[in-house]
Each structure stands twice: as C-alpha cells, then as structure tokens.
Copies of this chain bind each other. A is one copy, B any other.
Amino acid sequence: MERIEQHASYGGYQEVWKHASSTLGCEMRFGLYLPNAALRGQKCPVLYWLSGLTCTEQNFITKAGAQRYAAEHGLIIVAPDTSPRGDDVPDDPGYDLGKGASFYINAAQEPWATHYRMYDYVVDELPALVEAEFPANGARAISGHSMGGHGALTIALRNPGRYRSVSAFSPIVAPTEVPWGRKAFRAYLGEDREVWKQYDTVELLKSAVERLPLLVDQGEGDEFLEEQLKPQLLRAACEAAAHPLRLNLRPGYDHSYYFISNFIGEHIAHHAGALR
C-alpha cells in the first residue's frame, strides 16, 4: 500500500492511496480524508462514498467539498475508484459498461467475472484494509451518487448490521427496470432476471430485515430522472414495505457534482448523527 497524494485540508489531510486488490486482481486507488481527530490518534467512524459512472477516485474528493463537513464531524471518508483498472482488465467502448461502470456487483459472466467483483471489494476487502491501516473505530456509513447511490443502497440493504446509516444522491433505484442497469446486468450477470434482483434496491426492499432509514436527495432538473432514476419506484417500494425513507426532491438541481456539493453537508450530518 502506498500513499500517492496528500493535501492539507481543514486541519486534516485529503490523501489518495493505491494498493494491490486481491479481490479485483489489480491495483486500486482510493481517496481517504483523515480529519484532525484521526491525526491526533483518535479512532474515527468511516463514511464510504461510491461514485457514479465514468468517475475515478478523484471526482468526489476534488468536487464535492465534503472535507469541510468531515472535519467538523470527525469522520474519515473513503472514496474508492468505480471499477477494477489496468491493462489486464476487460473494458467496453460504452461509458456505461466495463471500466468506470462496475455497478458494484460481482460479475458472473465472462469476460467480466475475474476482475469485476466490486461488491466484495466494497463490502469486505476495502473496510478490512481501512480498519487495519488507519485509525478507524469500526463504525461505518455508506453513501454514493447515481450508480454509486445504487451501490450504497443495495450494499446496505444486503448487509444488515454492517452500516449505521445509508444515503444516496440521484440513485439508480431499480436497475432491472432501466436501460443503464439492464445493459450492465445482462453483460455482467447473464439473462436470468432472478439473479439481477439481488442488486436492485426496489427488489431488496421487499425482504429487508433491517429498517435502516434511507436518506435520498434527487434533483428535479436531473437529465436522467425519467429514464434511469425513477425515484417514484423507491417511494412506492418503501411505502409497500413500511421502510423509512426521507426523499428530498430538489427543484432545479441536476445530476452534477454541483448538486452533490450543495447537500453533502446535510448527508454528512445525517451520517455523523448515526455514527456517534
């Protein structure tokens, strides 16, 4: 493991680390914000952030402005890359499949199955690494944007007890029902739609055993709202399952990091409350 960036920020450090991932069979990078409390040796809770299509570990750490709030609340933030990387890793010409588009699942179909195991990476390998190497106290939260919002919600729903809180910006809540998800799931998982359902928030809500409240922000000016995001399906699924949901529809806001930067402070405050 090697630190490749370190920038002072709000009394702590924004860093980038790289390491050899055994789960993914490639070298991976992740952003790490260490608040001042962590520098002083205090063990801190960790918020995991999953980014959206086309992103690397850089987008969130350079654009979201989360460091200010993480510093305020004494949170570590870990922001991994969005897929396996490297010359040996299969890719696709589309921006919505292959590198930068893992959908945070374990692929079952070739050529993807060897490297595309981001679900296991995010659930197991990355937290084990973080908790072994950094001053983390074992309390975890998870959030993300778009494809990463889908990742955060599905991972939290499938792993009761593992996260104290979960939130999402502009998440893909029903990937089995929308073009982005269908394309990716067909390639990564094959044609069996029953298999797809284990990675679909709306489906998972039907059998969720833990009532972890979902905090979701969605811009009403989002260019992907109607075709890909469909927050009304999330609302209906939560109502049907009596699952607690705070869905903030934000007039005028789009799918960009400008939207995330406006409301990341509220999400971090939400997580900090649960992580205390």
Chain A residues touching B, range: 20 to 34
Q: Which residues of B contact A8 (CB under 8 A)?
A: 219, 221, 250-254, 258-259, 262
**In the complex, A257 has a CB within 8 A of chain B:** yes
A258 touches B65 (CB 8 A): no
A258 touches B63 (CB 8 A): no
B259 touches A7 (CB 8 A): yes
Task: Tell me the number of copies of this protein.
Answer: 2
Minimum CB distance partner of A265 in chain B: B68
Q: A7-B254, A8-B219, A254-B7 are in contact. Are A65 and B261 (CB under 8 A)?
A: yes
B65 touches A7 (CB 8 A): no
**In the complex, A109 has a CB within 8 A of chain B:** no
- Name the distance in Å between A67's Cβ and chain B's nearest Cβ: 7
Q: Which residues of B contact A221 (CB under 8 A)?
A: 8
The 3 closest A-B pairs by CB, nearest first: A8-B252, A7-B258, A65-B65
A-B contact pairs, 9 of them (CB 8 A): A7-B254, A8-B221, A8-B250, A8-B252, A9-B262, A62-B63, A63-B63, A65-B65, A65-B68
